[in-house]
Structure 1
Amino acid sequence: MDTCYIETPLGHAKIVGDTNGISSVSILDTNVELSTVIPESLLDCTTQLKAYFNNQLKSFDLNLNPEGTVFQKKVWNLLQQIPYGKTISYLDLSKQLGDVKAIRAVASANGKNPLWIIVPCHRVIGSDGSLTGYAGGLHRKQWLLNHESEYKQQTLF
């Protein structure tokens, strides 16, 4: 597996994959030495992530190869169908799977998503509109939702 580290507005990201696809993208809570050379197998991913953060990309077109159970992969596939700038509740996601009682399993699969941003688990919120659970931290989830919002928050200073 190839690995590289890139800088994002939310911290350093670790990207892992090979010619079979990207297996994980994660945000780190510590700084690491950034990659000076990006492996060929990760080049499209790093390019698309940079374009996403520069407001030049709303949908990723990458070969993905995450490890997970059949159920987790089913949830992750549904997550990829959530449009840029939109959100969905865990309950609505479980309804799409055909089982409203699966809400906890859906939340668990969402939390185990190994493909930060590319599989947009940050677009899943509580039924009451609250920001609930996010492996990268709620501050990052809020940042990503603001980043994707058509109504950008302006700062005064």
Structure 2
Amino acid sequence: MRTPLAVVGLLGLGVCLMANPLYLPVAIGEPDPAYTHTVQPAGEGSPVGPESPVDPEAGNDSDAVVAYADLAPDARAAFDRAHDSPEGGFGVEDPDERVDSLSYPAEPTPGNGLLIVEYDGERYEFWTRTVEREPGAVVAQRALLQPVAFLGGFLVVLAGVALGLGEN
């Protein structure tokens, strides 16, 4: 009688451990925001195209395209830093390091986190956005606790099956 209860208990425990992605990670603390600045050429494969309200080839972009000289000095400095960066951009973590004249939405749209800047006869997309990074404890849960719990649950299920088959 004890063996069937042990088999059911092991199988139940194993399934609960294997189902840990359903209840882990548990958010601990607030997300850690970073503020990114990215510059890339405006062209195909980008939100600036024929279907976009900001189409460089059509005549409908007079309000959306900003001349480099018309950017605020701090925005020009951020554009230059992102443009000259080998990665095509940079990020800052301190909210005080953001550029006051730029917006940092989580989902940029033309005019709000996405500017089309005309610079040296070329048009560039200048993206500014807020990226919410998970706290370190959540990352540790994803990287360590979830895989270990899943593997442990799998082994417990195997032990329950072996115990159940060994009884017959």
- Give the structure with the larger strand fraction: 2
Which has the greater radius of gyration? 2
With normalisation by structure 1, the TM-score equals 0.29
With normalisation by structure 2, the TM-score equals 0.27
Structure with the bigger RCO (C-alpha within 8 Å, sep 6+) is: 2
- Give the structure with the larger helix fraction: 2
